[in-house]
Structure 1
Amino acid sequence: MPTRTAEMNGGQGALLDRLSIPEPRPGPVPKISGMKAVASYNWKEGKNPVIIVPGSPPHWKPTQLPFTVGDDTDPEYINLNGAKSPSSAFEPLLRALQLTSPTYPLHQVDIVTDRNNLRKLLRWLSRAHDLTPFRIDAELAGKGTVLLTRREERDVDLEARFRGFGHNFAKSYDFGNLAMLVRSHIDAMDAPPGPAAVEDLTLRFEDLSVNLTAFSNPPSQLSYIKTGPPVVEAWKLMEIKTRAEWKRDSLDWDEIYPQLLLSGTPMLVLGLHQRGTFGTIEQIHVTEIAKKQSKTAEEAMKGLKAVLAEMKTGRKLAFVCDEQGEMKVYERTVVDPKRELAKELLERFWAPEEEGDGESEEEEGEESEDGADTSEFEEMVRREKAKCFE
């Protein structure tokens, strides 16, 4: 198993810079607008890397209370895409995007990232007292798109008692004047009443063996099965959390709200238990959680946009945050080919007329203009149709 030093500090060259937390400044929090679901997939269980596109999150089925949940003895995936993908952790995202949104304009995106990276940056910006060291690698794709890749001490925790394959969901949106493509893990989706709420319609992906297709152009070790409903509507998505009942009043809303906001998840399902027996389940809308956000969290969202703009560079860099909250920027001198995207996938980030022109200068940031169907995330989720428990 890789050590923290090998995994978190490997391949670093010269120290180039140190990032400082931006000072508080007047003005509104940058808005998230134009949110749109563009791709989704599940990982199929097994040794061979196979994704199910578009796949489906598990359907949420209200359960008669109380009920007891036992321990899960399977290992926990800390970074499922990093553990399962045969090359870059972004390969399954780009392959799923190719199948579900083949005309999606990757060349217009500023930042491609996992939500996990954004949450780590927000903890740093908030000067969280329990900050865990982290590393994010940056790489230019096309003329002006930057891929932010999460790096973990290890991708699988063999000692944990929970394992979640979940559902990978990618959304595009504008954050201020930055065009974002953000992948996140989705726990569940709201299911309509009737048979769908009685039967588990998550699809028995582990039993699928037909229609297995290898990706080509370029060839890959990754294969796919195309099955499942269309990409799930945003208003149906749910984040599930569990807490001991006595910890209910100490929930960190500054941590929870950005998790929902940055992935466009409108509903939190909170299960409260006593020693594993659940007696209460709450369903809380993101607009209610927004009211609990502190001024510190609001300033962190302002700082996030500024830091992302600084990370948007044309060099291969490693952003490393230590236990003291110091963010150092290193040149990446040693590149692991097993972590790299194939050249043909990187070429998809070029505009059609720019392919192969060899240009690498960073595109000047221009404020994006919302189309007629663009609306603020907050307005979208107010109109959502998620139902409360009866």
Structure 2
Amino acid sequence: MKSTISRKDLEGHPSLATISNVQHLSSYSWIESPEPTIVVPGVPPKWQPPRREVVCPKDLGFHYIAQNAACHPDSPMEPLFRALYQAGPSFDVRNIDVVTDRNNLRKLLSFVDPKSTRFGLEAFTIHAELAVENTVIISRVEAQTHEIIGPEKFVGYDHEFEKAYTTCEIPNSTGHHRVITYSFRGLSYVVRYEADAYVDAQESVPQVDSKSEDSITSITSNIDELSLGSGSNLSVRKQGQIVPLDSTLEIKTRVAHKPIGVDDLWIFQTPKLVRAYYRYGPFGEAHVEDVTDKVMAWERAQQPSLKKLAALMTKLTEVVKGLCGSCVIRCCSEKTNELVSRRWMVDRCFHRTCITSGIKLRHVRPA
């Protein structure tokens, strides 16, 4: 069984497509460990630029493409829900229409508007499943979850620049992920994304669980491991501090003659941006900018594309429900004007208690 959605199906929607009611829900950091381990709420690297100009080496070696899938392949969405319910045990996911990673929304936006990304529309695959009642979980799919950059290859300076201009405050942390919620043209979302850094550490709020004697008072404190659900090998620990959404920032590096825009920040509503440009030597001065107004201006200017994205998300949720609650969605080539959705055949189930007793995550293989 399959269904298709074409770009023509997404036209003719007059109402504005804007993001509203943005709230931070939870966060976590991955820790280098023999077994999959996250700390909640974790903390992103701290923006701490050096006093002198730095000549960064080009990126080399091991880097994650999709860290959650690389570190926890059995259930890449499990860390999201573990962190979510650790931060807010009473959170009811049944009030949410879509749970997704930022990367999926990027890909879907590139489908409705190939000009919205630097490299245009590329073929992609995503998985979608009706988890409980009306909540659709959209899972990221990548051919590779990590890459090893050899000395003969040049991909930029992003990782090395971040190492030089930020300080990691949790030992052995390998990546910090945030979970936010917002409304977008009739649907409610929970969105996960990786945060590059934060500023204004003095405004960070220590996490205190009023229902427990345990509290997070220091990012270096040693705290006992949380109890785990049956069958899961994901270790979850309390460590870190809650960093407000308005203190988080995105870091981008690029060659000097190619301007860096704010379009990518709209999906995850990060208010601050560092634009670092290079020529042949050291980077120039890199400052933290508050780009809230620029992101809002981008949203107003991109209404034709965002209206189509909103229509696409509504149709996708309908398709998932119509295809017996689970499907694989493919954009087959850069020249296509259709998304193809096919029903999943369940290969095996990993019953997780990581969300609530009423919701299970499944690991599936497309038919």
Are the equivalent residues in 2 in contact too, given 1:70–1:276 (CA < 8 A)? no
More divergent stretch after superposition (43-52 vs 271-280): 271-280
Counterpart residue number, 1:245: 256
**Given the alignment, which residue of 318, 343, 361 partners 1:331?**
343
Using the TM superposition, give the Cα deviation of residue 71 of structure 1 relative to its aligned residue in structure 2, in angstroms: 3.1
Counterpart residue number, 2:14: 27
Q: Where do residues 183-194 of structure 1 align in structure 2 (5 Å cutoff)? A: 183-192=192-201
Are the equivalent residues in 2 in contact too, given 1:212–1:223 (CA < 8 A)? no
1:74-110 CA distance string (max 9 Å, x none): 3111100011115211101111112111111111111
1:303 is the counterpart of 2:308 = yes
C-alpha distance in 2, partners of 1:190/1:176? 31
Using the TM superposition, give the Cα deviation of residue 203 of structure 1 relative to its aligned residue in structure 2, in angstroms: 5.3
The aligned amino acid for 2:181 is S
Counterpart residue number, 2:92: 105
Are the equivalent residues in 2 in contact too, given 1:113–1:147 (CA < 8 A)? yes
The aligned amino acid for 1:170 is V
Change (3 A) 1:276 1:183: farther
Change (3 A) 1:212 1:82: farther
**Given the alignment, which residue of 264, 268, 278 partners 1:263?**
268
The aligned amino acid for 1:42 is S
Question: What SS does the corresponding residue of 1:344 show, helix, strand or coil?
Answer: coil
The aligned amino acid for 2:3 is D
More divergent stretch after superposition (47-56 vs 59-68): 59-68
C-alpha RMSD of matched pairs (Å) = 2.7
C-alpha distance in 2, partners of 1:262/1:341? 30
Counterpart residue number, 2:234: 222
| Percent of aligned positions that are identical | 28
Q: Where do residues 198-209 of structure 1 align in structure 2 (5 Å cutoff)? A: none
C-alpha distance in 2, partners of 1:311/1:276? 47
Task: Identify unmatched segments of 5+ residues in structure 2.
Answer: 163-173, 204-217, 361-367
Question: What SS does the corresponding residue of 2:61 show, helix, strand or coil?
Answer: coil
C-alpha distance in 1, partners of 2:314/2:357? 22
More divergent stretch after superposition (307-316 vs 138-147): 307-316
Are the equivalent residues in 2 in contact too, given 1:142–1:346 (CA < 8 A)? no
C-alpha distance in 2, partners of 1:133/1:246? 28
Q: Where do residues 16-165 of structure 1 align in structure 2 (5 Å cutoff)? A: 16-21=2-7, 22-25=9-12, 27-128=14-115, 130-159=120-149, 165=174
C-alpha distance in 2, partners of 1:107/1:292? 31
1:321 is the counterpart of 2:326 = no
Counterpart residue number, 2:166: none
Change (3 A) 1:225 1:266: same
**Given the alignment, which residue of 235, 243, 246 partners 1:232?**
243
> What's the TM-score once normalised by structure 1's chain length?
0.73
C-alpha distance in 2, partners of 1:192/1:80? 25
Task: Identify unmatched segments of 5+ residues in structure 1.
Answer: 1-13, 195-201, 356-390
C-alpha distance in 2, partners of 1:23/1:138? 19
Counterpart residue number, 2:187: 178
Count of residues paired in the alignment: 315
Counterpart residue number, 1:342: 351
1:213 is the counterpart of 2:199 = no
1:287 is the counterpart of 2:293 = yes
Are the equivalent residues in 1 in contact too, given 2:82–2:355 (CA < 8 A)? no
C-alpha distance in 1, partners of 2:14/2:85? 39
The structure, 1 or 2, with the larger RCO (C-alpha pairs under 8 Å, 6+ apart) is: 1
1:216-245 CA distance string (max 9 Å, x none): 23341000221111x211110100000111
The aligned amino acid for 1:112 is V
1:28-75 CA distance string (max 9 Å, x none): 432222211111000001331000110001111233342211234331
C-alpha distance in 2, partners of 1:177/1:275? 48
The aligned amino acid for 2:225 is T
Are the equivalent residues in 1 in contact too, given 2:251–2:275 (CA < 8 A)? yes
Change (3 A) 1:141 1:186: same
Change (3 A) 1:320 1:73: same
Change (3 A) 1:113 1:26: closer
Question: What SS does the corresponding residue of 1:281 show, helix, strand or coil?
Answer: coil
C-alpha distance in 2, partners of 1:182/1:265? 12
Are the equivalent residues in 2 in contact too, given 1:30–1:175 (CA < 8 A)? yes
